[in-house]
Amino acid sequence: MPSTRETILTALHARLSTLPATALRSDVLPERLPPDGLLILRDGEPGEPEVTLSPLSYHYQHRAEIEAVVQGTDRDITFDALCASIGTAIAADRTLGGLCVWVEAEAPRPVDLPVEGAASLKAAGIPVILHYTTADPLA
């Protein structure tokens, strides 16, 4: 049985997979980007939990990250649309079907990355904070 953390990350990846961009999880950047862009979900860090003792519960603010990457002549517009679609997907169910207390994304900090012999990339890491509670830090 997967841990609470893995179940939540799987649910977030499934939510991202509904978008037009290709969504990967903990993968490397491929040589060719899909025309609608690429999303790579990184597991991130759960951080130090707050603990309550009765009943014993660990309250996490897990910081995952979505790497968003686009390429092409309209990369600014495509990137903006991709970021907006991520926001819409998260806002549609901020509890990921009741798995989290709350899910929120932070603003991206985009950068342009030159590619020799090809159109440059526009990329950003988008932090996603997953608020959840579990009875065991390993479960």
- Cβ distance 125 to 67 under 8 Å? yes
Per-residue confidence (pLDDT) for residue 119, from 0 to 100: 81
Looking up tokens 């991709």 gives: 82
- Amino acid identity of residue 40, one-letter, is I
Bigger pLDDT: 119 vs 27: 27
Kindly compute the dihedral angle of the four CA atoms of residues 53, 55, 57, 59, in this order, to the nearest 10 degrees: -90
Per-residue confidence (pLDDT) for residue 1, from 0 to 100: 86
Q: How far apart are CA 52 and CA 58, in angstroms?
A: 7
Q: How far apart are CA 125 and CA 42, in angstroms?
A: 10
Question: Which of 4-8, 53-57, 112-116 has the lowest average pLDDT?
Answer: 112-116
Beta-sheet pairing, 38-45 with 118-134: unpaired
Structure-token pair, residue 50: 């707050």
Residue ranges and CATH numbers for the domains of the chain are 4-134 (3.30.70)
For residue range 13-33, list pLDDT tens digits in order. 999 999 999 999 999 989 889
Residue closest to 41 by CA, chosen among 21, 61, 71: 21
Read off the pTM: 0.94
Per-residue confidence (pLDDT) for residue 73, from 0 to 100: 86
Question: Which of 20-24, 32-36, 50-54, 129-133 has the lowest average pLDDT?
Answer: 32-36
Looking up tokens 């090809």 gives: 118
Work out the pLDDT band at 114, boundaries 50, 70, 90: confident
